[in-house]
Amino acid sequence: MAVNLLDLAKAYLTNTVVNQVSNHLGESTTQTQTALNSVLPAVLGGIIQKASEPGGPSTIMNLIGQLTTPNRNTGEVIGSTNGVLGQLDDLINGKSGQFSSLLSVGSDLVSSLFGNKAASIAEAISSFSGVKQSSASSLMSLVSPILLSLIGKKMTDDGSGPVGLTNLLNSQAPLVEAAVPSGLASLLSTIPGLGLLGGLGAKLSNMTSAARESTATYKPSSVPIYNDDDDNRGNGNRWLPWLLLALGALALFFVLRSCQKDSTTTTSSAENSMGATVDSTASDVSAATDSLGSAVGAAIDSAEQELAEATAKLGSFFKHKLPSGVELNIPELGIENKLIQFIEDKNKPVDKTTWFNFDRLLFDTGKATLKPSSHEQLINMVEILKAYPQVDLKLGGYTDNTGSAVVNKKLSQDRADAVKSELVKRGIAASRLDAEGYGQEHPVASNATAEGRAQNRRIAVRVTKK
């Protein structure tokens, strides 16, 4: 299933994050959410448009690399290890000045993407959503590093480099068109020279509901990004010289950054390398692309692709309002929905055999360290426990049968404890939670296959009181 960058970005913009951002901006949560729903496709549309321009792929690559470049003037707010996404909660909710510094980084990205049109776009979003124009600008600065980080990590995971970038962004264009509210599209269409976004007003005003449903297979001819499809090769070849030049420039950029001891020698060598890259064969281009992908991957952290694929199997997301008034965005077949149904069903008694598996938790390999992409489901679990204060849970940790049973038992206990600790840190009383590691005991699938082993590596919960 093709990745949807807008959905991946929304996974980080949880209800908690939106509330905190609203407080920073002095806006209502509802208006902030409406504005974000407009900003996300607008910024992604800007990225797509920028990549379609001569030298555009090089620009996008450089913007991705800049997100975690050390010694930024902003005071190294964004660390090179965890990236923007790995530190999003801390940057928004942390000590004074961190949120402003994040927006400063994002503002530079917005300027690179939209130039002098950024203010007009913010004004359109402000008019549509009801937030102040300054707040709309801030939200654009928040969303830009999130989307660029997701793009960078997706490219690195695929090992595809700049050519993969164009194919990825081509696949996002119909999703952007479907996501931009028609009212906003009409406002954007009045901004001259906006390209893809500016042309949405006329398209959406005439688009029927049937046409909207067919956008998943639509390939927009208005965004002439190079790809390897035979049907598009004629148009794509026009941009191939620019792509080769971009690769050469990027190779020079990373060589210069990594070798600073002998600047004269390095510069000369890199310039020669750039010339060789521009005139190189396809295999040379591939090697440069792989090198670039490795450099970007070391700098950027994002939601794991495997998490996105697993999430796609959980059914459609929908809004569920808890007794506390908090509204969760959860999948039909996810643990949150199943747990809520069990808690609310008075005909289902508490027992020792009914367990619910977390479906969007990821740990570092062989460790009990939760990946940042796990935060949304943990926050959802916190909100559920707050909405049902009478409920107690037991957390169970499990592994596959690879390696030592003793080591597996300890790892499973450490992971169960890590999840408990995260819930306690977010406001749930420790007395309401129990955690136990079972190691490779109680498998739910065969350990003879990789898929089965993946199912056995899990964290589950059981209601012990309701």
> What is the pLDDT at residue 394?
98
Res. 168: pLDDT tops 60 = yes
Q: Which of 218-222, 331-335, 385-389, 449-453 has the lowest mean pLDDT?
A: 218-222
> Can you tell me the distance from the alpha carbon of 10 to that of 36, in angstroms, rounded to the nearest whole number?
9
- Write down the H helix ranges in 206-262: 209-213, 233-236, 240-258
Q: For residue 310, what is the DSSP state?
A: H
Q: Which residue has the higher pLDDT, 221 or 192?
A: 192
Instruction: Give me the residue spans of the domains in the chain.
Output: 5-302, 306-465
User: Highest mean pLDDT: which of 33-47, 98-112, 208-222, 368-382?
Assistant: 33-47
Helix (H) / strand (E) element for 447: namely none
> What is the pLDDT at residue 12?
87
Q: Which residue has the higher pLDDT, 201 or 100?
A: 100
pLDDT (tens digit per residue) in 10-26: 988 888 889 889 988 99
Across the strands, what pairs with 459? Answer: 397
Quickly state the pLDDT bin for 193 (edges 50, 70, 90).
low
As a CATH number, domain 306-465 is: 3.30.1330.60
In degrees, rounded to 5, the angle at the alpha carbon of residue 382 between the alpha carbons of residues 327 and 367 is: 130
> What is the pLDDT at residue 35?
93
Environment class of 37 (CB within 10 Å of its CB; exposed 0-12, middle 13-18, buried 19+): buried
40: phi then psi, degrees, rounded to nearest 5: -55, -55
pTM of the model: 0.45
Mean residue pLDDT of the chain comes to: 75
Q: Which residue has the higher pLDDT, 131 or 2?
A: 131
pLDDT (tens digit per residue) in 98-112: 777 788 888 889 988
Q: Which residue has the higher pLDDT, 137 or 283?
A: 137
